[in-house]
Amino acid sequence: MIGPFLGVLFDGIAYGMLLFLLSVGLSVTLGMMNFVNLAHCAFAMVGGYTTVTLMHVFGWPFVWTLPMAFLTAAAVSVIFERTLYRPLYRASELDQVLLTIGIAFVSVAVAAWFFGTVQQPIQMPPYLRGSVSAFGISFGVYRLFLIAVALAIALLLIVTLEFTRFGATVRASVDNQRMARGLGIDVDRTFAITFALGSGLAGLGGALAIEIVGLDPSFAFTYLVYVLIVVAVGGLGSIGGSLIAATLIGISDVAGKYYVPETGAFLIYLVMIVVLMWRPAGLFARR
């Protein structure tokens, strides 16, 4: 009884860490600029396909492709930020929603054109395969690796945000954009860097997700809903909030699918609606 329960808990936490990587960038950029970016998971997909291409075409080992997934997604997002997003910062949220849905549609079609609509399987290196046993439960090595990477990144982000000068400008811009501008902070530049970092992290998440949830062109929309739920529940601009919300959503999704499979994704949507009605700005909103 307790064995399967701990197994579900472990899988849920691993899944939650994945959701955290995918959503943390969106949470910070949304908190700063109020820009509703529904193409966020399209950038994650860029990272995923970078890893697939590097492994299949160039024969790179999996771990080495991860930094490239981060860099490619960040670079692509900078191009979009400069050309399409920038003119719409002051536009209505409807315009932002439509523009970014448009970009996501295009990304799905482009991915289908180059890679086909099939799943992209990748071969894990031997040291990330298999599982280790402890306390009578077996833990998948890859999931342990995923949790370690996500926690390291979360720690790095929190330290950067709390203890560096750049982090201080980010926090100031999220808390009060006008006042930050008044103090001479270049909010637009801060935002551009944060946006690239966030998209890069999404790209990394996309690459790490292949082994857990697979990769096909519909990724840009399938996980968008989960990412938005994490952001909305965690509260805008809060890294700790995103981490806790992602873990919560990850565990309830895996537990829901394991214990009450007939409800499907129903449970997640219900959790989101209830949380939003109770705390409209999310559980850990900075504002």
Partner 1 sequence: MAMTASTPSTDPHAWLRRQTRWHPVEIAFWLATLLPFFLFPNYLVLASQIAITALFALSLDLILGYAGIVSLGHAAFFGLGAYASGILSKHGWGEPLTGLLFGAAVAGIVGYATSFIIARFRHLTLIMLTLGFGLLLFELANKAHWLTGGADGLQGVKIWPIFGRIQFDLWGYTAYSYALIVLFVLFLVCRRLIHSPFGLALRGIRENSVRMPAIGAPSAAHIRKIYTISAAIAGVAGALLTQTTETVALEVLSFARSADTAVMLVLGGAGMLYGGLIGSIIFMIARDQFSGIAPQYWYFWIGILLIVVVMFLPNGILGGLSTLLARWRKP
- Residues 29-48, one symbol each (x = binds partner 1 by CB under 8 A, - = not), give -x---x-x------------
Q: Under the criterion CB under 8 A, does residue 89 sit at the interface with partner 1? A: no
Window 2-31: residues binding partner 1 (CB under 8 A) = 30
Q: Is 272 in the site for partner 1 (CB under 8 A)?
A: yes
Task: Give the residue, chosen from 98, 122, 137, 141, that forms a contact with partner 1 under the rule CB under 8 A.
Answer: 98
Residues linked to residue 132 through DSSP beta bridges, in sequence order: 139
Q: What is the DSSP letter of 128?
A: G
The span of 71-79, 137-145, 244-252, 257-265 binding partner 1 (CB under 8 A) equals: 257-265
Contact between 95 and partner 1 by CB under 8 A: the answer reads yes
Q: Are 149 and 208 in contact (CB under 8 A)?
A: yes
Helix pair 40-57, 93-115: axis angle to 10 deg: 20
Q: Which stretch binds partner 1 (CB under 8 A): 2-10, 82-90, 122-130, 133-141?
A: 82-90
> Which residues, 6+ apart, have CB-to-CB distance to 246 below 8 Å?
16, 17, 19, 20, 23, 230, 234
CB-CB neighbours of 276 under 10 Å: 15
Contacts of 228 (CB under 8 A, 6+ apart): 26, 38
Report d(CA 274, CA 262) in Å as an integer: 20
Judged by beta carbon, residue 178 or residue 262, the one nearer partner 1 is 262
Q: Is 4 helix (H, G, I), strand (E, B) or coil?
A: helix
Residue 117 binds partner 1 (CB under 8 A) = yes
Binding partner 1 by CB under 8 A: which of 113, 127, 166, 259? 113
Query: What track of x and - describes contact with partner 1 for positions 227 through 246 (by CB under 8 A)?
Result: -xx-xx---x----------
Query: Is residue 105 near partner 1 by the rule CB under 8 A?
Result: yes
280 burial level (CB within 10 Å; 0-12, 13-18, 19+): exposed
Q: Left if phi > 0, otherwise alpha if psi is -120 to 50, otherwise beta: which for 264?
A: left
The answer to the question of residue 103 lying near partner 1 (CB under 8 A) is yes
Nearer to partner 1, 71 or 101 (CB): 101
Residue 144 interacting with partner 1 (CB under 8 A): no
Using rule CB under 8 A, residue 278 touches partner 1:
no
Rounded to whole angstroms, the Cα distance separating 43 from 202 reads: 6
Near partner 1 by CB under 8 A: residue from 6, 63, 109, 183: 109
> With binding defined as CB under 8 A, does residue 264 bind partner 1?
yes
CB half-sphere exposure, 131, CA atoms < 13 A: 11
Tell me how far apart the alpha carbons of residues 249 and 282 are, in angstroms, rounded to a whole number: 13
Contact with partner 1 (CB under 8 A) among 9, 78, 101, 255: 101
Nearer to partner 1, 48 or 140 (CB): 48
In angstroms, the CA 68 to CA 118 distance is 23
Q: How far is CA 246 from the centre of its chain?
A: 9
From the CB of 22, what's the least distance to partner 1, in Å? 16
Residues that bind partner 1 (CB under 8 A): 30, 34, 36, 84, 87-88, 91, 93-95, 97-99, 101-110, 112-113, 117, 217, 225, 228-229, 231-232, 236, 262-266, 269-270, 272-273, 276-277, 280-281
